[in-house]
Structure 1
Amino acid sequence: MAHKQNINQIESDAQNNEFIPSDEVLLKLHLDILDEYSHRRNPEGLRKYLSPKLTAIGSAAGEVWTNLDDLIASLAADVEQIPHEIEIFRHSFRVERLNDICAVIWGHFSVRGKTSQGIAFENPDCQMTAVYCLIAGKLQACHLHGSQKQLNVAVENEPWPLHGLAAQLHETAEKYRFLLDNSPVGIMQYDCAGYLKEYNAKFLNIFGTTSEKVANVSFFDISDRQALDALEAALHGRAGYYEGYYRSFTADKVTPLKMITTPIYNAESRVVGGIAIVEDISKHRVTQDRLQYQLQLEKMVSSVAQSLVKAPLERIDKIMENALELSARFFGADRGYIFQVDPAIQTISNTHEWCTNDIKSLIPKYQKYPLADLPGVLDFTHSSAEYFHFEKIEAMPESMGDFKKLLIDDDVKSILLMPLLTQGQFIGLFGYDCVKTSRTWNSEEITLLKIIGEMFSNALLKQRADRQIRNSDERYRFLSENINDIIWIFDVETRRYRYISPTVTRIFGYTPEELMQLEITVHLPPESLEKVNAYLPERLANLRNNRQTRYIEELDQLGKDGRLIHTELTQNWIINQETGHAEIFGITRDIGERKELEEQKRQFEMQRQQNQKADSLGRMAGAIAHHFNNQLQVILGNLELLGMKRQSDDGSKKHVGDAMRATQKAAEMSSMMLTYLGQHQVELNTINLPALCRAQLESLRQQLPVTHQIELTVSADDATISMNHDQLQQILKHAVANASEASADKPATILLNIGRVASEAIPAEHRFPIDWNPLPESSYVCLSVLDQGSGMPDEEISKTFDPFFSTKGPGRGLGMTNALGFMRGINGGITLSCVPDHGCCFTFYFPGFVPAAREKTMISGVPAKALKIKTILVVEDEEMVRFITHSLLENFDYKVIEATDGRHAIEIFKALKKQIDLVICDLVMPGLDGWQTLAELRKMDPDIPAIMASGYDQSMVMRGEHAEQPQAFISKPYNSNSLKEAIRQVISNA
């Protein structure tokens, strides 16, 4: 197996090569050939190593083979003679390269083994020379030469295995002649006296001589001692080698050549001469010289590159100047320099320079020099030129006239400029000037100089980047130490902070050093820790799989003093290139204030929505009350008229009376809608709240289940309020009933407490009406009703006072709604607080007692004399209401004129104002409303008396400043008595 691997490795090494492989590979191949034949005894296996056009010589028996098949056949016959393994020992070989595709291996070895008859043999002095060439990219042996001394075998007449081929000597000689004449190298055979016995034409060509000139000339007469030693080595049974400049002894020619010599043995294994293989290496020497220069150039470039790559920031400028000196001296230039452009690529400045002592520096001259004046350099900015090179400045084109003049003024004879690029962007240039003599740079030099240019570009980029990093570090340090947010780096693998900015002390109370030594469990409450432990593995997997790496989240944390801190984390997950650990680069922001603002915004939005809802309900309730009262007015009026006509029929009179009472009841329901809006004015009473509550306790207990108790505590002595007595009783009744129902069937105690509280101490949360704001710097009497029910979720608290809202079944939900309307009517408020499973507390806030203000009186516009009313103008947009009013007034013997709206009334009044004694005007009408209509009528007659009619409450209607006031007000629905009373009031005010 190992042998097969070696063969495969050699075959792999020998395939697709452009040059002869290393000496080790050559020697390995050579020994494998010997092993294939001696150890494996497999001649056919040699084919993979040998060229099909192989030539071979066996000096001991004079055998010559000119093709591979003949050699394989000969060796196969030899195997029949010696079928057993032959041991090769004490071998020593040397490699000599003739050129890039040809090499020679020569040396000696010893063999021993047994013949097919079992006779042992040993030959301690065998020699072998092999020529290896690259043929179509594959390394193969193309010539073999073997020799040996006479075998020392146990039976004297036992031949050397190769001697069986002696009969083919003549054929072999012909083949040898063919090889000699067609060899690509010079071959000569000489005797022990140094005279040439045989040579080929290539030999004569290399030495520049002829057959006549070398006849009878001994090589021992040459003066080159090294060449003579190589020739004599073969005569002493050793291989010889020579390489040098050889002067021919027959012609005036000095030739660089390489020569390998090997001895020739006769049948008795005696040295009878030598063979020399000679190669003209003049072309090889030129190549070597060029290669040597190339190696020196590459070494210089490598040295420059290494120095720039390893340069620390503080030494980059000095190292770049040293690199300019090294490269300029190598090329024989007098000046080397680097120019850099400004960020806008408008000017260029000489930033680094080296020049010989007798050459002036150009740094002072070229600082912020306009690029527009350097057309050749300007081409670099457009990526239209790879380099700029002129061996002679005089040869520059006229289009570069200004640039050419600059160079001539600087005594420049030759110039090479190359751009400095970073990611394709022009950042400057570097170049060389020759001032003393002209010089040209070839393509290979320019190619390597591009590498130096890349190193200069990288160094400048590194310098800029380092400066930017230092500036960034300074800015980052300033920001991290002064901004309100906490900047931190967290190692996910070790679960420790690597960095925390000093802001952490102000927010959390810990110093950065303290937190970097502690586990994260210290500043995370259990819920947050569970959340973090849950998402860390998932985010780590996302990072490893190049998925999401950026996250923003809210997380509650703990300060050093144990307080809960609401924070927002911005996380960017990265891999630390030094440790390989996953790290989180994060920013922590204290969002406590933001949370408060968001809560305030939420409360404000909820209040806005509640206000909108309340406003909508108010508009709806007011509109319903108005239109409902109008319709009730029609019903009530018709019933009253009907009752007047059926006075004699007792049964009809009863039915009409019942219908009228029901209508009045409906009017009271309409009034309740206005009460919810706080628009129903009632008489206010001065009430001692504790006294009233004590008086009502017994009746309140009677309405409670036997399992429910009620207790009253008073914590404020001064608890006098201004409120309607009946409304306060309803508030107390509804609040206690609501508390009892909240406790259901289980035993419970309802707690009533009366106290006084400053306006600033009234909770802002769950305050009703939503738009109610206590008067600043005031105190309120408060009545709290606490139940022991199951509480109420936040989403239901805002609906508590909505009409018909109830959590206790259908057909309920107006009690607390009316209570809110009562409180709204006195500019009071209610707060509601609930604790799940512990109950709710309703607290009613009553403004402090204020003596009742005198109600605004209506101003009469008529003079103080007896008022006689005969004709009344009725202004009403509702036809049926207008008809009923007309009918009622006619029953009182008044003459009635009807107007369908305000404008109609004005037109009628213009025409008939002397006939009209009184105006009864509806408040809400299309076009001009009641107030506007009254104002226009008073312009025509300031003394005209008026009665204002409306389905709205009087207090609401009379609210506001109106220049013209009516003499009386009548609420819809009104009956004949109400109408008579309003007219009487007008007459009495006259």
Structure 2
Amino acid sequence: MKRLLERLQRWLSLGEGSTIERRLFRGLTLTGGLLSILVVVPLNFPQSLPGFVNGSVLAFGVLCLGLFWATFRGHYGMKLLFFLHLANLDLVWFGNGGSQGSIGMFLITAAMYLVIFFKGRTRWVMLGLYLVNGLALLWAERLRPGLVWPFPHPEGRFIDMVTGFTLSSVVCVIILWVVLKEYHQERERLREALAAQEESEARFRSLVVNAPLPIALSNAQGAVTYVNRRFEEVLGYTLEDLPDLEAWWTKAYPDPEVRERVSTRWEEATAQAAVRGIPVPPAEFPVTRKDGGLVYLEIQAALVGEHLLVMFTDVSERRRGEESLRQTQKLESLGVLAGGIAHDFNNLLSAMLGNLNLAQMKLPIGGASGPYLENMEGTIRKAAELTRQMLAYSGKGRFVVEPVDLNRLVAEITHLLAVSISKRVRLEYDLAPGLPPIEGDSAQLQQVVMNLVTNASEAIGETEGVIRIATGLSDFGEREIESVLPGQGLEPGPYVTLRVSDTGCGMEPEVQARIFDPFFSTKGSGRGLGLSAMLGIIRGHRAGLEIHSDPGHGSVFQIHFRASRAKLPDSRGIEMGAHKDRFHGKVLLVDDEADLRFSFGSMLQHLGFQVVAARDGLEALERFQKGEFALVFMDLTMPRMDGQEAFLQMKARDSEVKVILASGYSEGEAIETLHGLRPAGFIQKPFSLQALTRAVERALG
């Protein structure tokens, strides 16, 4: 029986989401129809009841089945079923013994319809009709007893009562069973829904708590009701630190002017978003962390009911990258400017140095003006060194590795060091005499010294202090290298040491670990590039680095350069009268600057050449076609046709032609577009008569 009822219940089920009223309606219409047709009508025949009784019951059964069928089309005539039930009971009341028959039992099922199918005002109206109908039947029976058809024999009434009780009980049991079944199922569904809701809330809470973005929630009263873990990690504030939005504005923006500007902007954005029903568009704001640091956040928000959900994205790294790109672009622009200035300045220095060397050639050896001219030549060479540094800065130069006297290098920039530091800082020197040379680029090494001294001065600040620059000789064995300079790839042997110490503030270990990171700076105005560039230079020279720093007691930087056995270059001027009439033949001299044509032409004539001059590449090609030249000396940067194009066309006409190219830029920058063809020589401006002589010798073999 239980399995039969369960199958019946499944068959009557309308599927997930159907209401208990619809399930009961379907069950009652089917049950009422089948019982009326298959049970009640056959049982009424032995009782000799009037014919209209069975007719009414049969019609009621057919209509119930019709209502059941209508449910498959989505129609549920609950009021119609109630009135059909009352009408059927009214029709058979008098023909079935009136109040003495079993019809009164079926009125109980009608009362259950009221409880199940109707609610609110409708239920009370239907209940009134139900009571009026029942009282009317009893009143009519009392006034007109003759309307009641009595049972023909006592057994008929007994059968009717038993049948009525059984059928009404079956209907009531079905109703109660379905109700209880639905109640338990509804309670189970509610329990599952609550469990799913709790799981969903826990999942959502976990997502918010562990979200990679900082999240905060505030209510309509301005109270901050929630901040997640990432919010505390990025900003340092806990929920206790931010009881309301006023506390947030005060802590995140200590400056009243900034606070007023940012809060006004934010309130306008949230108000517009609320009016338009859209999320608050993202905007970037600087925010002060709990530790006082500044972080840039992209803040966006959305209204969720009466709450404001705010999400933060840390864009500090992106802004640093953008700032780095801007700095790089500035450096590139400055580099282009520096390269152009250096190139033009090299042309001026070339004329000056060439004329100076020619003047030196005309003087007798030991003349009184000789030292002055040598001093002038040294100044020009320093200016040329400056232009080489400018070209290197612009990316169009090259560094020259040669034997360097570290003591002389430091001595040459003492004045520059003095003007680069605070006036309250004193420079002291302790340069050990007789040091061997080191292999390196003078400009780069001077930059290392400058960076170390500048950083030392900034560490001292505005207080009085001392910066000490010392040099010395060290001899490192394998054990010393492993203990003092581990992991730097140095080999045992003698090293020349540069030591820069200061009496500044020193460094904490965490700061010392990051001083060579690009763009890391403890100074608000610093770019964080000086020490990073210095480390690259040190590694490029295969030198070792030691750092000792104690907070409050200053820092010591020691750089160890491998000692070299090479001889230092001779810094003396050229020998008077040397190189004269050393060569012969014609030289095609090509340069757009008249003073350079005069200077270079005079130098070439001094070497013994006959000089034919041209102002640009086109004029040079005309001269080249008309004569035979032992050598072509040509500038690269010229109007109309530059030296590169002229060189390629000359090579196309005579593959054996000897060409020396000259430029204010370095060789690699100058000849990179020559399609693999190499000139017989290259010389970088400015150059001396000695350098020109060596270039000609190499070109002519």
* Greater fraction of residues in strand: 1
Greater length-normalized contact order (CA 8 Å, ≥ 6 residues apart): 2
If the length of structure 1 is used for normalisation, what is the TM-score? 0.34
If the length of structure 2 is used for normalisation, what is the TM-score? 0.45
* Greater fraction of residues in helix: 2
Question: Which has the greater radius of gyration?
Answer: 1
